[in-house]
């Protein structure tokens, strides 16, 4: 498998009104699992950030340390990167007005009350845009509002019957973009320009399809495919399992006498069935869904940097 690196982040927010119980245990359980898959726990190969560490040290999950550790993770070519985050996920007002919902998904560092949350746009630039194209990044986010936390173009979800459906953000965004372009370029009345504005907002909530801002005349500067955002064209080898959809919360659970994140627990329970690297991505998605729906309403999903065969064996 070549070089492998892991970054594990678990935040319980000790002593705060936002305290969780199972996030550090999630990280310890994931560390044990990775070591059983021959990952090295040497600091040059595996970095663990938890808020039971020295608040003045590099392994305390402050915003600065999280970003620094993420940059370390994706810094080498021809490497398998593994990232696990267990903690709070949030949403903040979308300052760039890319999302029709008006909110941007975030992860929440331990010092968020002082230094703020880390939004999905920053996560994408730090992890996906910065990674070498010869490497692969696998992410597990066990937090609320995590569906679009890294802004990947292809999203797979299971329905109540376990069938997997693809939400192709690029295709849907392009269709909305085309409808908006038609309205803007024609002889439109005021209400049609308003409709175009709505369509553009919908397109950019699927993928950042236009590089320019929308202040001013919508008839000016609107280009064809050459103006599509570079993020939609990256095609990086990135795979992210998230514990829920954007609008959902992810449970801090008590299972078998232990505090754990529900998604982390479901993932590790599923991986117990995989003895010879035979389990596929679609099986992981379906099995975690089956386990979670027995107790919780959250729907896990898989987001990817490019379209691929979900029946491919899972490799980390």
Q: pLDDT by residue (tens digit) across 35-76?
A: 999 999 999 999 999 999 999 999 999 999 999 999 999 999
Is residue 88 part of the annotated active site? The answer reads yes
Q: How confident is the model at residue 218 (pLDDT cuts 50, 70, 90)?
A: very low
* pTM, two decimal places: 0.76
Report the sign of the C-alpha dihedral through residues 57, 61, 23, 165, in that order.
negative
Question: Is the pLDDT score of 208 beyond 50?
Answer: no
Tally of CA atoms within 13 A in the half-sphere of 14 that contains its CB:
10
80-126 pLDDT, tens digit per residue, is 999 999 998 887 765 655 554 556 678 899 999 899 999 888 898 99
Task: Identify the active-site residue in 23, 143, 144, 244.
Answer: 144
Residues 6+ apart with CB under 8 A from 137: 74, 81, 82, 83, 127, 128, 131, 236, 237, 238, 239
Q: How far apart are CA 53 and CA 277, in angstroms?
A: 34
pLDDT of residue 166: 61
Q: Spell out the CATH class of 3-153+235-304.
A: alpha beta
Task: Identify the active-site residue in 88, 124, 143, 304.
Answer: 88
Query: Strands of 89-93's sheet, edge to edge?
Result: 89-93, 103-107, 118-119
Q: Where in the chain is the domain with CATH 3.40.50.12660?
A: 3-153+235-304
Residue 166, both tokens: 């693809």
Between 298 and 310, whose confidence is greater? 310
Question: Is the pLDDT score of 180 beyond 80?
Answer: no
- Whole-number CA gyration radius for the chain: 20
Question: Is the pLDDT score of 212 beyond 80?
Answer: no
pLDDT of residue 257: 55
Is residue 143 part of the annotated active site? The answer reads no
pLDDT of residue 142: 87
Question: Is the pLDDT score of 251 beyond 90?
Answer: no
């Amino acid at each position: 498998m070549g070089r492998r690196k892991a970054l594990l982040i678990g935040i319980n927010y000790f002593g705060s009104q936002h305290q969780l119980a199972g996030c550090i245990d999630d990280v310890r359980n994931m560390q044990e699992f990775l070591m059983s898959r021959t990952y090295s726990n040497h600091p040059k190969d595996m970095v663990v950030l938890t808020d039971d560490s020295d608040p003045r040290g590099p392994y305390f999950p402050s915003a600065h340390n999280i970003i620094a550790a993420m940059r370390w993770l994706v810094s080498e070519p021809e490497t398998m990167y593994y990232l696990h985050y267990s903690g709070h996920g949030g949403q903040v007002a979308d300052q760039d007005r890319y999302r029709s919902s008006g909110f941007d998904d975030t992860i929440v560092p331990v010092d968020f009350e002082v230094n703020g949350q880390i939004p999905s746009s920053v996560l994408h630039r730090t992890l996906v845009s910065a990674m070498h194209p010869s490497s692969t990044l696998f992410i597990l986010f066990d937090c609320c509002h995590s569906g679009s936390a890294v802004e990947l173009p292809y999203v797979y979800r299971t329905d109540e019957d376990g069938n997997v459906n693809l939400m192709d953000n690029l295709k849907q965004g392009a269709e909305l973009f085309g409808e908006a372009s038609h309205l803007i370029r024609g002889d439109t009345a005021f209400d049609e320009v308003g409709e175009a504005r709505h369509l553009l907002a919908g397109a950019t909530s699927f993928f950042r399809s236009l590089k320019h801002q929308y202040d001013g005349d919508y008839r000016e500067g609107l280009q064809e495919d050459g103006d599509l955002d570079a993020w939609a064209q990256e095609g990086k080898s990135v795979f992210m399992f998230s514990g829920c959809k954007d609008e959902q919360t992810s449970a801090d659970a008590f299972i078998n006498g232990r505090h754990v994140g529900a998604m982390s627990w479901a993932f590790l329970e599923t991986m117990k069935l995989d003895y010879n690297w035979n389990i596929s991505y679609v099986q992981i998605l379906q099995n975690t869904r089956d386990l979670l729906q027995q107790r919780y309403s959250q729907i896990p999903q898989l987001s990817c940097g490019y379209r691929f065969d979900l029946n491919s064996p899972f490799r980390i």
